[in-house]
Amino acid sequence: MMTRPIEARISLDALSKNLSRVRDFAPGSAVLSVIKADAYGHGLLPVASALSGSEGFALLELGEALKLRQAGYRQKIVLLEGFFSAAELPEISANEIDIVVHCKDQLDMLCSEALPKPVGVFLKFNSGMNRLGFDRKGFYAALERLRRSDNVSGIVLMTHFPAADLEAGITSEMSEMEAVLSGLSFPLSLANSASLIRYQETRTGWVRPGIMLYGASPFPDTSAAALGLTPAMTLSSRIIAVQDLKTGAGVGYGPMFRADRPMRVGVAACGYADGYPRHAPNGTPVLVGGKRSRTVGRVSMDMLYVDLSGIDHAGIGTEVVFWGEGLPAEEVAHACGTISYELFCARAPRVPVTYY
């Protein structure tokens, strides 16, 4: 039986090549590969296997961390939001999982439990993002309590930058961080992808690359190819119907697109329930049978429309690539007013993944 033709093909080789690029940029750093959100939609266990040369993994859910331990990974595993209730701590400790500690509630819970084994802590400083982390005073107080606690086996000091990918950079946050670190001697964890690519001073201790491992650029002004990164995921489907539009005819829901001349339109089996953004405007780039074209009309739940003008060989069964090989996800994301991260994470469970 022929199945619905949509698929995400993921190159394991691209993932491991991108890990080598991380090492080119940050030689000597330990790599904590960020595989949160089902490895940015690429699949937790296959990605972990392709990146098994990493010194560690970072993600959010304890359940996912336990899957990695059960699969035999002995590396460091860090929970980026730490834990959410004291009830999680015994399992965290028994499985030697590291936790981010970002607030006093976590600190109180951690210091008042009797744990089977001490746990590794990434103590988070809020250097200006105002998302997670302690202010300067709270940070010193937390550090003192962690140093004295029998529940703590090691301490890494970390922060996260809000604009490492943008013009603003990390200047103000880095000077906050340097001020708080003065006189302290602990391993550090500072860099996401953008930061480790651009800022030498953050290539230290544990680096935390995410998006670059999946082969997309973190920067609006630099392509993945220019950074030597290889896209891992290609989302594709096929044309399942063709419509001949007369001048003035619309396609799909609402009046979003009308033909200004007679034209052929292909209906591709991919919609917002597959993870393609519904807010994609007319003109979002696609590849139809290997040729660049554009979307027209409003994306439906299960289908979208592509312009077949000038692609005479295209018909039912012709492949349509939405992003990946030959069409950078960043470019599609930009056209849709979002970032490649969101496209990848939105890949719906109903889209089958094949690894090669």
Ligand X SMILES: *Cc1c(COP(=O)(O)O)cnc(C)c1O
193 binds ligand X (CB under 6 A): yes
Among this protein's residues, is 40 annotated catalytic?
no
Report if residue 59 touches ligand X, rule: CB under 6 A. Answer: no
Choose the stretch contacting ligand X; rule: CB under 6 A; options: 202-210, 261-269, 279-287, 301-309.
202-210
Site membership for ligand X, residue 34 (CB under 6 A)? yes
Binding to ligand X by residue 133, rule CB under 6 A? no
Give yes or no for residue 208 binding ligand X (CB under 6 A). yes
User: C-beta of 186: minimal distance to ligand X in Å?
Assistant: 17
Catalytic: which of 36, 40, 124, 341? 36
Residue 277 CB, nearest distance to ligand X (Å)? Answer: 19
Site string for ligand X, 251-290 (x = CB under 6 A): ----------------------------------------
Pick the stretch among 189-197, 233-241, 243-251, 330-338 that binds ligand X (CB under 6 A): 189-197
Of 174, 178, 176, 213, nearest to 193 (Cα)? 213
Compare residues 192 and 295 and give the one whose CB is closer to ligand X: 192
> According to the binding rule CB under 6 A, does residue 80 interact with ligand X?
yes
What is the sign of the dihedral through the CA atoms of 174, 180, 181 and 186?
negative
Q: Of 40, 67, 253, 355, which residue is the catalytic one?
A: 253
Which residue is associated with the tokens 């962690």? 146
Does residue 54 touch ligand X according to CB under 6 A?
A: no
Between residues 133 and 277, which has the closer beta carbon with respect to ligand X? 133
Among 192, 202, 217, 236, binds ligand X (CB under 6 A): 192
- Of 125 and 305, nearer to ligand X (C-beta) is 125
Q: Which residues contact 236 (CB under 8 A, 6 or more apart)?
A: 6, 7, 9, 319, 320, 321, 322, 324
Choosing from 211, 235, 327, 343, the residue that interacts with ligand X (CB under 6 A) is 211
According to the binding rule CB under 6 A, does residue 210 interact with ligand X?
A: yes
Contact 124, 159 (CB under 8 A): yes
Q: How far is the CB of 284 from ligand X (least distance, A)?
A: 23
Nearer to ligand X, 208 or 238 (CB): 208
The reply to whether 253 belongs to the active site is yes
340 binds ligand X (CB under 6 A): no
Size of the site for ligand X (CB under 6 A): 12
Indicate which residues carry an active-site annotation. 36, 253
List residues binding ligand X (CB under 6 A): 34, 36, 80, 160, 192-194, 208-211, 218
